[in-house]
Structure 1
Amino acid sequence: MKHFSKIALTLTLGVLFNCQNDDDTVAIPDQSPVNTSVNFNYKSTINVGGEGASEISAFDPTTNKLYVVNVESNQISNYTITNIEAPVEETPINLSAFGAPNSVAIYNGKLAVAVEAVVKQNPGKILVYNTADNTLINNYTVGALPDMVTFSKDGKLLISANEGEPNDDYTIDPLGTISIIDLETDQVTTLDFTAFNSQQSDLEAQGFRVFGPNASLAQDVEPEYITVSENSMFAWVSLQENNGMAKVNLATKTIEAIYPLGFKDYNLPENSLDASDRDLVAQLKNWNVKGIYQPDAIAYANINGTDYIFSANEGDSRDYSGFSEEVRVEDLTLDPTVYPLSGDFQNEINLGRLKTTTTLGDTDNDGDVDQIYSYGARSFSVWSANGNLLHDSGNSIATETLAFSSTLFNDEDKRSDDKGAEPESVEILNLGNQRYILFVGLERTDQIMVYDVTNPIAPQFLTILSHTGDEAPEGLLVIPALQSPTGKDLLVVSNEDSGTVSFYEN
């Protein structure tokens, strides 16, 4: 494994305790050192199964079990990882009686599983198991296609993002919803977006997308991923296809706002990209193209008292038999005053192969395209709690992966016309409230980017983790040293294509 940068720093944190002496209370710092060095090394891999056997993982520190969403076998595979170099496979949890699993989460000996119905437009389930013996404790009915589930940080709530995808004919399009499960009362509150239907025009003007055939905004939104504030008061939910993010008040159980995420300008020098899979060269250029951020995974961190949301800007299109928005630039009718023929933009070695959408770009409604849009932003971004863009990584991912291995980049040049390296997942490691490390999983180049985001508006690239090819990391999980079976920070990577789970140790 090649590392571009190795940074070691050990800080002593003052943990205060009280010494009583009559009327005096003296605060004495505990001199226990917290290691904030970052040097993750590959340790081992679990072969869970074939393609689709490993998507999302969750770790239970009370039993040292790792639970893995195994779509291939319609089960939750689980392993005791007391020794991460020799994991022990345990009896899996069979889900055939409920449906197909999409997500897992763990809190204090409870395992939550998001399960879509056999007909995925029907309401789904959140199942809760006891990790001590894998017995089912309870099940809750939520909205259609629960795609992600997580606990609030205090463990009192479960929150699920119910994507509500249409059927393939696009004749049934259920509401996209967010369910909040109160584990103390077993009450389920499922929130929809009908209150925002009247705001559709204003939201679209700011870059939000509502474009499904005959769909209202409430039907069109597709909640994808959730992250929760440290105080368990708020949740943020990515609305990937719609290019937005919702903020949920967990105390009042209401959706407070939808934040349109706008577009990325690939004409700016820092945003150059490789737009062709037929140019036979790994070269980043500027083009008159806008990127639709469309984040998949998002992650929350409070750094120096400020809330930040980090997003993996994967991008996604709708491509159904009943409706597809996908089209290549070579098949568009371009406005010649914006994209003159002399520019040869529709040549496949230029922009011709780039995948774009039929739903955006004709700004003057005259039948030709005035602005080309592409899916995703080939980056990670940092947002404020109210959806303002604070930082985007620009072309950093493409630049660093190319520097890491030009051979690997060329192998994946077939994705240049689509979404590039395809940043899919993000996870943050908090090192003693002193240093914050961001991991970004790249589905198409089979790599993990590592950045120092202690200053969130000026992230610093550290290194790339890459074990082997054809893995397609789908889910990232950080196990901090205090909970880790090895006593050291772990990064657990769930790989969809290879059906494996890999461990990296700091």
Structure 2
Amino acid sequence: MKLRIAACLGLVAATIALTPTAQASNGKHLTVTQVGTYATGIFDEAAAEIVTYDAKSKRLFVVNAAQAKIEVLDARKPATPTKLFDLQTTGTTAADGSTIPDGSSANSVDVRRDGLVAVAVESATKTDNGWVVFFDGRSSTGKPLGAVRVGAQPDMVAFTPDGDYLLAANEGEPNDDFTVDPEGSVAVIDTPRRGVPRQRDVELADFHRFERKVPHGVRIFGPKVNTQFPVSANLEPEYITVDKRSRTAYVTLQEANAIAEIDIRKARVTELRALGVKDHSRKHNGIDPSDRDDAIAIDRVPVYGMYQPDAVASYTFGGRTFLVTANEGDVREWGDYVEAARVKDLGDDGLAPLCAGAFDPSVTEDAELGRLNVSIASGLKADGSCYERLYAFGARSMSIWTTNGRQVFDSGDEFERVTAEAKPAFFNSNHTEANFDGRSDDKGPEPEGVTIGEVRGRTYAFVSLERVGGVLVYDITNPYRAEFVSYVNNRDFANQTGDLGPEGVTFIPADESPVRGTPMLAVANEVSGSTTLYRLDLRRP
């Protein structure tokens, strides 16, 4: 059933109070309330990407990617978080004798329970190997303790729950003109209880064993620049989660629409699992595919959405580990290779057309599927003559999976429906500018980050929406019966203030919170360069 709301209705008040669809077993709703914000004053320069928290010092560590540093914030008074100093990574000499040059960028940060901070740093020449730099997060100096060399473009770092290892997802994207394409890999770093790792403590889990045979459904596509290890270069590790036993890591391979499983102690990739696709023609799986239809038009369409998750988190239920993914989607565009094309442009400029009879001709109209960006690498007939299926980027949803890749929950079209109700005038808005329907032809609200936390016996997932903004909350206590709880978005669309482009989210448990007994959520916002703290309360409706 199509949800169609004329654009003129979007001119009414932009915020509508939402009635949560789920509540805790004790009859209480989880409310999310803004407490305080730290603003860098830097707009659209990735000044606040990822955030993590140290319980003992009550400090937040926020990635300022553009300046290759970590901003250390004092959160003891969460209503007024203040900056203490920076952790500067450039100029640091690593254990292999290399020095981090100016022009390098910080991509990620994590902190161990004893206060050891690890920062992923991408080289100024991004196809060169990067570094992980270590700091004492509880010191007053911000001086680096040391660094180790890892793979190209370390994009995310994560300590294992027991603190014995640090993992870094080395994304290994090609250079801008697609003449160099390094391998993707995951660094497994043995981290001592005292001191910092040495270079010999670093092992790279690579994908070489999959060069001859790739599991069905794992997407390997585009130009083969790296002729020695083309599959390994094609796979680009994005985000990491680790099981509570600290033995197995699960890593998203976003463009490949897959997840890799890693034996941490052996530093070995043991499995690649394709995530499959989402059928947007099925009930509750619809999307709004056009930015030129002058309406909020969430409908079932003959398109398959590739999940392509960015962030992933994990938790246990019934003694089993489950994975929670934010299904953002991503496009490969390097040099002359551009993976995305609008449906109406298929058949032009050397692209294969739609297969005759496979689609109603009306799908090429701007108000239907004509404007939707789809992959030119997927959906071709076996002989390459035409497209018999259409594959869009991302699933505009959150999913829960077993560790063997079986999906047990997906939020369907709820993200677009919730944001349409809450912010109708700015439905599917972009993040750098406020507009109506601006991202419908691409990836919609674009779920980016996800974190998981427990509040009084209930387990919740918090999912950030990079484009329209805000955070969605789901009760995932039972992964088979996950339910939407609430949505919060403090963005002022009229003035482009508040939080724009939320990316990293981290949960602060009640027993570690700066507000004793009250769990909190920290959100880093890439476009607005702000970091905001929210308190989480269970209250009766």
TM-score, scaled to structure 1: 0.91
Give 5+ residue unaligned stretches, structure 2: 1-14, 92-99, 347-352, 429-434, 537-541
Structure 1 spans left out of the alignment, 5+ residues: 12-34
Map 1:172-211; keep pairs closer than 5 Å. 172-184=180-192, 186=198, 187-200=201-214, 203=215, 206-211=216-221
Equivalence for 2:20:
5
* Displacement after TM superposition at 1:256 (Å): 1.0
Q: Secondary structure at the match of 1:462?
A: strand
User: Which residue number corresponds to residue 495 of structure 1?
Assistant: 525
- Which residue of structure 2 lines up, in the alignment, with residue 74 of structure 1? 68
Aligned to 1:409: 427
Tell me what 1:164 maps to: 172
* 2:256 aligned residue: 242
Indicate if the aligned counterparts of 1:276 and 1:353 stay in contact, CA closer than 8 A.
yes
Superposed CA deviations along residues 5-58 of structure 1, whole A, max 9, x for unmatched, are 3977698xxxxxxxxxxxxxxxxxxxxxxx986222111111023121100011
Corresponding residue SS for 2:512:
coil
Q: Is the 8 A contact 2:184 2:235 kept in 1?
A: yes
Q: Secondary structure at the match of 1:199?
A: coil
Measured after TM superposition, the shift of residue 244 of structure 1 is 0.3
Q: For 1:496, give the aligned amino acid.
A: E
Say if 2:289 and 2:441, in contact at 8 Å, map to a contact too: yes
SS in 2 for 1:248: strand
Instruction: Name the SS of the counterpart of 1:173 in structure 2.
Output: coil
Match of 2:137 in 1: 131
Whether the aligned pair in 2 keeps the contact of 1:439 and 1:451 (CA below 8 Å) is yes
1: CA distance, partners of 2:25 / 2:133: 42
- What is the 5 A alignment of 1:369-388? 369-388=387-406
Cα-to-partner distance string for 1:338-394 (whole Å, 9 max, x where unaligned): 0143xx111111101000111111123242111111100000111101112121111
Residue 100 in structure 1 maps to residue 105 in structure 2:
yes
What's the counterpart of residue 85 of structure 1?
Answer: 79
Higher relative contact order, chain-length normalized (CA < 8 Å, sep 6+): 2
Partner of 1:442: 465
Contact 1:7 1:39 in 2 (8 A): no
Q: Residue deviations 1:92-111, cap 9 Å, x none?
A: 12233222100000011111
Partner of 1:20: none
1:364 maps onto 2:382 in alignment? yes
Equivalent position SS for 1:195: helix
Output aligned runs, 1:222-233, within 5 Å: 222-233=236-247
What is the one-letter code of the residue matched to 1:211? F
Structure 1 residue runs of 4 or more that deviate by more than 4 Å after TM superposition: 6-11
In terms of mean alpha carbon deviation, does 381-390 or 36-45 score higher? 36-45
SS of residue matched to 1:402: helix
Q: Tell me the residue number matched to 2:490.
A: 467
Counterpart CA distance in 1 for 2:299 and 2:254 is: 26
* Partner AA of 1:158 in structure 2: L
Task: Name the counterpart of 2:357.
Answer: 337
**Native 8 Å contact 1:36 1:431 kept in 2:** no
Compared CA separation, residues 362 and 302, structure 1 to 2 (3 A)? same
Partners of 1:496 and 1:322 lie apart in 2 by: 28
Aligned residue number for residue 432 of structure 2: none
Note closer, same or farther for the CA distance 1:300–1:9 as it changes in structure 2 (3 Å cut).
closer
Cα distance in 1 for residues equivalent to 2:143 and 2:375: 46
The worse-fitting range, judged by mean Cα deviation, of 240-249 and 460-469 is 460-469
Cα drift, residue 472 of structure 1 = 0.9
Count of residue pairs brought into register by the alignment: 476
- For 1:422, the equivalent position in structure 2 comes to 446
TM-score, scaled relative to structure 2? 0.85
* CA distance in 2: counterparts of 1:412 and 1:103, whole angstroms: 32
User: 2:420, 2:206 → 1: CA distance?
Assistant: 42
Q: Is the Cα–Cα contact under 8 Å of residues 412 and 444 in structure 1 kept in the other structure?
A: no
- Distance in 2 between residues matched to 1:359 and 1:61, nearest whole Å: 46
- SS across alignment from 1:170: coil
2:55 to 58, 61, 81: 61
SS in 2 for 1:53: coil
Q: Contact between 2:241 and 2:251, CA under 8 Å: does it hold in 1?
A: yes
Give 1:293 deviation, angstroms: 0.6
Q: Check whether the contact 1:53–1:71 (CA below 8 A) recurs between aligned residues.
A: yes
2:35 to 43, 47, 62: 43
Q: Please, what is the CA RMSD of the aligned residues?
A: 1.8
CA distance in 1, matches of 2:301, 2:80: 49
Counterpart of 2:331 (choices 285, 295, 317) is 317
- How has the CA–CA distance of structure 1 residues 143 and 183 changed in structure 2, closer, same or farther, with 3 Å as cutoff? same
Report the 3-state secondary structure (helix = DSSP H, G, I; strand = E; otherwise coil) of the residue aligned with 1:271. Answer: coil
